[in-house]
Amino acid sequence: MRELLRAALVIARRDFTAVVLSRTFILFLLGPLLPILIGFAFGGLGDRISSTDLRPVVGVAMSARDTAALERAHDRLTQRMGDQALPRLRPVASTPSPRIQLARPDSEVVAIMSGTLLRPALTGKAEDLDKLQGDISLLSTAALAERTLRFVTVERQEVATSLGAQAQARLLIGRVAQVVMFFLTILLAGMILSNLVEEKTNKIIEILAAAVPIDAIFLGKLMAMLAMSFVGIAFWGGTAFAIFAALHDGGGSLPTPAVGWPLFLTLAVLYFAMAYTLLGSLFLGIGAQAATVREVQTLNMPITMGQMLIFFFASYAVDHMGSPAELAACIFPFSSPFAMIARAAQDGAIWPHLVALVWQASFVALIIRVGVLLFRRHVMQSGGSWWKRLFRPATG
Amino acid sequence: MIGDTPALSPAPVPAPSARPAYALEGHGLVKTFGSFRAVDGIDIAVPAGTIYGVLGPNGAGKTTLLRTLLGIIDPDEGTRTLLGEVQPLRMARQVGYLPEERGLYPSMKAYEAIAFMGALRGLPLKEGRVRARAMLEDYGMGGSIDKPIRQLSKGMAQTVQLFGTIIHEPRLIVLDEPFSGLDAINQEKLEALIREQARQGVTILFSTHVIAHADRLCERIAIVAGGRIRFEGTPGEARDQLRSQVRLRTRVSDGAWRRALPADTVAEDGAWLFALPDEGIEPLLRALLDGQAGIESLSIERPGLHDAFVAIAGAAAAQQMQAEPTPEEDA
């Protein structure tokens, strides 16, 4: 075992330095930040677009008195409901008929309100009427009751927290942790698929296989890629934290997960490592069977689909704590890390995490071993039935 | 040290010890790929401290035999012992292996590649780097120490890989076709390096299909053809498998003396060629002199290892072709 780990570290060190000290690693680090920056830029632009242009405009073809009453009602309601709550109103001529006005090429309104406040009529496409009918009814009612409508003031009684809100917040933490872990895993573990192709195309595999057990090659490659992932996560996490700290100077406090933040973050790191090595060992085993990069690329899509299924399974389980589905998600090795991190957010018990980590680690070892034996059998063309050698020492 | 030739007796199997008499042993080794038997029941024992050559034509099974002995692949049948250990990878630290298909990481620097190969075999990386630099300097490749492998010529990269094979000072060095791809000067250097390692007590096992190298270097050889060992012994013993050839030129083209020539005599370029008779050359000489053949020249040519190799491997190929069923027989 000691020799296996020593050899794995030699391989890991080589792979890690080869990746991290390459120029392309800078692109790798910067790559995930680009969508964030683009998101910021387009997010601000989007806000402006939604606040000005996207609200539907309804033409008002009514008497001047009714139109004025409607506009006053609109102002009073938007003060309480927000700018985006109601459609904009624009007075239009009462002739020709609304149908003719809406058919004009220069028409800028989506619907026209006509008639009186007591019997308003709304002309427009069916889907627009479906959306606007309620708002226009509210506006008309408020305009009619202009003098009698009094807004009631709600008294605010603040508490530090509520159990319902806490449960909601923890559910949210679990969901966010799952999504972040899933995207990091899908982003990083996919690279392992093509990891052994370099050794095979450059004929290095022969030198490695003659010197160390293939288990050590697989393990070393996983360790290197995991370490590289942690470098990436540290960089992205650090950047995200810096942006967060810059934008929110101390205002508001984050809700606390059930196990507390320090343990939750530790578990998040451990479960990410498990999710990564579980998928990574599977990818390594599958990718090792591929002879060319093209074969690896072909394998990529069905594997990604499989990952999506596992993620959906785990995210379904978040809302159903203690249900058979949630227990199944916790037990099934590939969904287990995702289900367990959501559990850590919502349930304070520690021992299930210890059991889960041991369970997941044993599956990593099992998948590596099967991958190695299949590699020996199909690529190195060595050894007989792989399952007979599953639990033999990895010393060749 | 034993092949499957019936003339040779099987070598005793030594008990595992710190310094076994045989660096490598294989008994009844069989390795098949699909329906093809690449190694077909080979017994081999490589004495410790010798330079041992595995000779054979292309596709004879040399590489598969070496890979099986080293534990890179497992045999379907048979047992193997490497430096006294039945699980070859347990002795990996004491073995150096240069595979037939050379492979290095293209982006690695030359000295790093050597140190990495040493580290795989248990040599601390720091020590490996120091040794690698010294080796490259001594070999006249000081200018290439910090160059990535992709910038080196094929011969230089091959030298780097060879240094990676020996950097950890192994007790056994296995080289698969080590001379292929090297120019004459580098082949000479490699021969010198192999001799130097052997002088230090290292066992060298290499495969080749270029007989001249084996002839110059090997203390023992095994000729492999069709997945079997067809001969095992010293190069001298291999030569002795063939009888010396006699080349005779006479002034007179015919006469009673012709009856004294052996039955297998052939005429070639105005000379008579035949195998040296079992009773020696003297009776024939007497008959030629008595028959007044007018001997112009007579030479006895001892066959080279190349001739022996061609004869042994060729006979094996012919034997194999005879053994393989014809399409009619198949039907």
Best CA proximity match to A303, nearest among A178, A180, A186, A179: A186
Strands B22-33 and B36-47: antiparallel
> Is the per-residue pLDDT at A317 higher than 70?
yes
Residue type, B108: M
With pLDDT > 90 as the criterion, what percentage of chain A qualifies?
27
CB < 8 Å to B71, chain A: 210, 396
| Distance, CA of A381 to CA of A396 (rounded, Å) | 14
Most confident segment among A50-64, A179-193, B123-137 = B123-137
Closest partner residue to A211 among B74, B102, B121, by Cβ? B121
Mean pLDDT (chain B) is: 86
Per-residue pLDDT, averaged over B271-284, amounts to 88
Best CA proximity match to B308, nearest among B192, B207, B225: B225
Quick: pLDDT tens for B144-199: 999 999 999 888 999 999 999 999 999 999 999 998 888 888 889 899 999 999 99
Q: What is the largest CA-CA distance in chain B?
A: 80
Residue type, B187: Q
A352 contacts chain B (CB < 8 A): no
Cα B275–chain centre separation: 27
Quick: pLDDT tens for B107-130: 899 999 999 999 999 999 999 999
B97 contacts chain A (CB < 8 A): yes
Quick: pLDDT tens for B278-310: 888 898 889 888 888 888 999 988 888 888 888
User: What is the predicted pLDDT for the residue at B1?
Assistant: 38
With pLDDT > 90 as the criterion, what percentage of chain B qualifies?
44
| Distance, CA of A375 to CA of A291 (rounded, Å) | 11
User: What is the predicted pLDDT for the residue at B243?
Assistant: 83
| Distance, CA of A170 to CA of A174 (rounded, Å) | 6
Does the CA dihedral A33-A37-A40-A43 come out positive or negative? Answer: negative
| Distance, CA of A367 to CA of A265 (rounded, Å) | 26
Measure Cα distances from A181 to A87, A184, A253, A267, B203 in Å. 40, 5, 23, 11, 53
CB < 8 Å to A22, chain B: 107
Of 3.40.50.300, 3.40.640.10, 3.60.15.10, 1.10.760.10, the CATH number of B22-239 is: 3.40.50.300
Residues A62/A70, Cβ–Cβ less than 8 Å: yes
| Tokens encoding A48 | 């402006």
User: What is the predicted pLDDT for the residue at A347?
Assistant: 86
B82 contacts chain A (CB < 8 A): no
Cα B63–chain centre separation: 11
Instruction: List the alpha helices (DSSP H) in chain B.
Output: 62-70, 110-120, 125-138, 154-166, 184-199, 211-217, 235-239, 282-290, 305-323, 327-330
| Distance, CA of A210 to CA of A212 (rounded, Å) | 6
> Is the per-residue pLDDT at B9 higher than 60?
no
Residues A371/A218, Cβ–Cβ less than 8 Å: yes
Give how far A195 is from chain B: nearest CA, Å.
Answer: 13
| Distance, CA of B131 to CA of A281 (rounded, Å) | 35
Q: Residue A249 has what DSSP assignment?
A: S
Q: Verify whether the Cβ–Cβ distance A204 to B76 is below 8 Å.
A: no
Strands A57-61 and B295-301: unpaired
Quick: pLDDT tens for B84-99: 899 888 899 999 999 9
| Tokens encoding B253 | 């083209």
pLDDT tier for residue B18 given thresholds of 50, 70 and 90: low
Surface-to-core class of residue B11, CB atoms within 10 Å of its CB (0-12 exposed, 13-18 middle, 19+ buried): middle
Q: Verify whether the Cβ–Cβ distance A198 to B71 is below 8 Å.
A: no
> Is the per-residue pLDDT at A218 higher than 70?
yes
Quick: pLDDT tens for A112-156: 999 988 889 999 999 999 989 999 999 999 998 877 877 787 887
Most confident segment among A5-9, A49-53, A344-348, B210-214 = A5-9
- Stronger pLDDT, B14 or A258, i.e. the higher one: A258
Best to test chain A binding among B30, B32, B72, B80 (most A CBs inside 10 Å)? B72
CB < 8 Å to B104, chain A: 202, 204
Best CA proximity match to A204, nearest among B304, B107, B37: B107
> Is the per-residue pLDDT at A337 higher than 80?
yes
Look at the block and give the residue holding tokens 């090429």: A105
Cα first-last separation, chain A = 13
> Is the per-residue pLDDT at B274 higher than 80?
yes
Find residue B272's DSSP bridge partners: B248, B267
Cα first-last separation, chain B = 41
User: What is the predicted pLDDT for the residue at A392?
Assistant: 64
Find residue B40's DSSP bridge partners: B30
User: What is the predicted pLDDT for the residue at A291?
Assistant: 72
User: What is the predicted pLDDT for the residue at B4?
Assistant: 37
> Is the per-residue pLDDT at A394 higher than 60?
no
Strands B220-225 and B228-233: antiparallel
Residue B114: closest C-alpha in chain A: A207
User: What is the predicted pLDDT for the residue at A52?
Assistant: 56
For A172, list phi and psi in degrees, rounded to 5: -65, -40
Quick: pLDDT tens for A260-299: 889 999 999 999 999 998 888 888 888 777 777 777 778 7
Cα B13–chain centre separation: 22
User: What is the predicted pLDDT for the residue at A25?
Assistant: 87
User: What is the predicted pLDDT for the residue at B165?
Assistant: 94
For CATH 3.40.50.300, list the domain ranges present in chain B: 22-239
Rg over alpha carbons for chain B, rounded to the nearest Å, is: 24
Quick: pLDDT tens for A72-82: 999 989 888 88
| Tokens encoding B88 | 């070859």
* Torsion angle, alpha carbons of B126, B127, B129, B135, to 10: 170
Surface-to-core class of residue B322, CB atoms within 10 Å of its CB (0-12 exposed, 13-18 middle, 19+ buried): exposed
Q: What is the largest CA-CA distance in chain A?
A: 95
Residues A188/A272, Cβ–Cβ less than 8 Å: no
| Distance, CA of A390 to CA of A384 (rounded, Å) | 11
Q: Is B203 helix (H, G, I), strand (E, B) or coil?
A: strand
With pLDDT > 70 as the criterion, what percentage of chain A qualifies?
90
| Distance, CA of A325 to CA of A316 (rounded, Å) | 8
Q: Verify whether the Cβ–Cβ distance B71 to A210 is below 8 Å.
A: yes
Q: Verify whether the Cβ–Cβ distance B92 to A210 is below 8 Å.
A: yes
User: What is the predicted pLDDT for the residue at A387?
Assistant: 61
> Is the per-residue pLDDT at A252 higher than 70?
no
Q: Verify whether the Cβ–Cβ distance B122 to A208 is below 8 Å.
A: no
Q: Count CB neighbours of B237 within 10 A.
A: 14
Residues B167/B131, Cβ–Cβ less than 8 Å: yes
Look at the block and give the residue holding tokens 């539907």: A56
CB < 8 Å to A380, chain B: 72-73
| Distance, CA of A81 to CA of B250 (rounded, Å) | 126
Strands B266-268 and B271-275: antiparallel
Best CA proximity match to A288, nearest among A210, A199, A228: A199
B107 contacts chain A (CB < 8 A): yes
Helix (H) or strand (E) holding B71: none
| Tokens encoding B300 | 């006895």
Measure Cα distances from A368 to A282, A285, A375, B90 in Å. 7, 7, 10, 20
Mean pLDDT (chain A) is: 84
| Distance, CA of B64 to CA of B271 (rounded, Å) | 44
C-alpha atoms less than 13 angstroms from C-alpha of B114 in its C-beta half-sphere: 29
Most confident segment among A15-19, A346-350, B115-119, B244-248 = B115-119
- Stronger pLDDT, A159 or B290, i.e. the higher one: B290
Give how far A12 is from chain B: nearest CA, Å.
Answer: 11
Rg over alpha carbons for chain A, rounded to the nearest Å, is: 30
Per-residue pLDDT, averaged over B258-266, amounts to 87
Quick: pLDDT tens for B132-159: 999 999 988 999 999 999 999 888 999 9
| Distance, CA of A72 to CA of B44 (rounded, Å) | 104
User: What is the predicted pLDDT for the residue at A70?
Assistant: 92
Q: For chains A and B, what is the number of CB pairs under 8 angstroms?
A: 81
| Tokens encoding B18 | 């710190």
Best CA proximity match to A140, nearest among A53, A58, A212: A58
Does the CA dihedral B161-B164-B169-B174 come out positive or negative? Answer: negative
| Distance, CA of B161 to CA of B139 (rounded, Å) | 13
Whether this model's ipTM surpasses 0.85 comes out as no
| Distance, CA of B60 to CA of B3 (rounded, Å) | 14
Per-residue pLDDT, averaged over A147-173, amounts to 78
